[in-house]
Amino acid sequence: MSTPERPVSSNFIRTIITEDLESGKRDQVVTRFPPEPNGYLHIGHAKSFSLNFGLAEDFGGCCHLRFDDTNPLKENDEFVEAIKADVRWLGFDWGEHLHFASDYFDQFYLWAVQLIKAGKAYVDSQTAEQMRENRGTLTKPGVDSPYRDRSREENLELLEKMKNGDFPDGAHILRAKIDMSSPNMNLRDPAMYRILHAHHHRCGDQWCIYPMYDFAHGQGDSIEGVTYSICTLEFEDHRPLYDWFIQELGIFAPQQIEFARLNLSYTVMSKRKLLQLVNDKHVSGWDDPRMPTLVGMRRRGYPPEAIRTFCERIGVGRGASWIDLSVLEECVREQLNQTAFRRQAVLDPIKVTIANYPADKVEELDAPNHPQQPDMGIRKLPFSHELYIERNDFMEDPPKKFFRLAPGREVRLRNGYIIKCEEVIKDENGEVVELKCSADLDTLGKNPVGRKVKGIIHWVSAEQAKEVEVRLYDRLFNQENPDKGENYLEALNPESMQTTTALIEPELLAAEPGTTFQFERVGYFTVDSEDSQRGKPVFNRTVTLRDTWAKLK
């Protein structure tokens, strides 16, 4: 097995693997991503599986996708397929290595029997409340169960009856016999199997006892020959139990390595809290573009390449830290700046009449699809006697460094002529409703002689422009750490989604769902994949052109 030849970002896990391969401790790299199919993946999961798949790829190994489907009450095929789609979307492939914990239920049961016969497991008949009371605390040792010294024969008989469905839920539980006085709470006779009469999404009603995660996880790794079980730091205290099961069973031993999970500002990533956001209708669903779920980010228009860049950029360490959401947003901007076609759209229009341009003439102007990438081609922009520009691109009494349109001032129309504001028309309330302008018709594609015009603004032709719905998405929370207060819901941003109407270039009506454009001088916008109809797109703001939150800190 060779170490990576291409340059990659160094981290402590990569160093461990490199040293293991060079010393001969390991001769291959097998990692795994083991999600529970009880919800949708979020950006924190993306960091995890990008690391696992990336390490396997860099070292010429393989990464398994294994679903931890040991709790039938919360798991279903919908989540399985959604997780597979998310992993593929980010560009990873598990090949033939698609597995489920339920693939190994028969073997897990045989190992449970083995541990009973070895005197390392027993059936406990205490109530859940009694077990909690007897477990002890961090400063007080636990108390042995009165059933801890049951005979092997009795334990085997009870386990068999549990498996056969002879007992109701909660009547008994199978526990490992380790040490009720251990300072590590996870070693205080942890549960291995519980009775659960529930329909399993793959096994149907075959089983009415199900293994606990701590019992199934390491053994699943061992069966598959996983060499590195890479997980987040909350599992560090579980590692002694992970190793204990493997050692007592005498099976292949993977190495568990922990790293710091992703903490992202202005975000919550607790499954419980995300589920509450969905169930309480604070968002429209798991795929709401404000959610940190990958399906939500995909709908919003985040490119998968940007998420992979983000995961690489933030690095891998053992120290807990917070990553500002702006880092992710900047990765999105960098990627879309390279790939997004440019278009013009006006979100808050004010009418402009070009007095010296024929009222019956429509001219088609050439506009590049991308100003820095000529190979992306050009498009035609209709130009006419009446236009719309953004209201904030005009001021009656502008400050010194305002280089856009004002009475008596000139500005260049993007990809068009230089115009000058000659007259301001107001309604009865004193609001500006129209600007009378003149165009220098000798400035198309060239600068005027003898004067310098600094400002450039975007526009659309009034007659040809089309109306579309635009959703202006922002951060779901307006506090950097929503969990800091007593109730994270109090930190919800009431302006996280605002709906408006925009006037767009006519050809944008045919844009396909999922396509992203830069609305020049406005931001990046993606055609919504759920609510758009043919000829009637809905545009989601993916990200602004620059970080609008930096100035608020």
Catalytic residue numbers? 36, 261, 271
Q: Is residue 172 within 8 Å of residue 156, measured between CB atoms?
A: no
Question: Which of 403, 500, 402, 504 has the alpha carbon at shortest distance from 459?
Answer: 504
* Three-class DSSP category at 551: helix
3-state secondary structure of 407: strand
Phi, psi of 335 (to 5 degrees): -70, -45
The continuous run of DSSP H or E covering 19 comes out as helix 12-23
The whole-angstrom separation of Cα 290 and Cα 293 is 9
> Residue 281 belongs to what H/E stretch?
none
Q: Cβ(67)–Cβ(99) under 8 Å?
A: yes
77-86 b/e with 16+ CB inside 10 Å = b? Answer: eebbebbbeb
**Local structure of 243: helix, strand or coil:** helix
Closest by CA to 66, choosing from 99, 31, 97, is 99
List, in sequence order, the alpha helices (H) in 260-400.
271-279, 294-300, 304-314, 325-339
What is the greatest pairwise CA distance in the chain?
A: 102
DSSP state at residue 319:
S
Dump the DSSP string for 460-527.
EETTT-EEEEEEEE--SBSSSSGGGSS-GGGGB-TTSEEEEEEEE-GGGGGPPTT-EEEETTTEEEEE
Structure tokens at 226: 């996983």
Q: Which element (helix H / strand E) includes 163?
A: helix 152-164
Contact, 494 vs 505, CB < 8 A? no
Report which of 34, 71, 30, 29 is spatially closest to residue 49, judged by C-alpha positions.
34
Per DSSP, what are the bridge partners of residue 434?
351, 425
| C-alpha of 489 from chain center | 20
Q: How far apart are CA 169 and CA 281, in angstroms?
A: 33
CB 115 within 8 A of CB 222: no
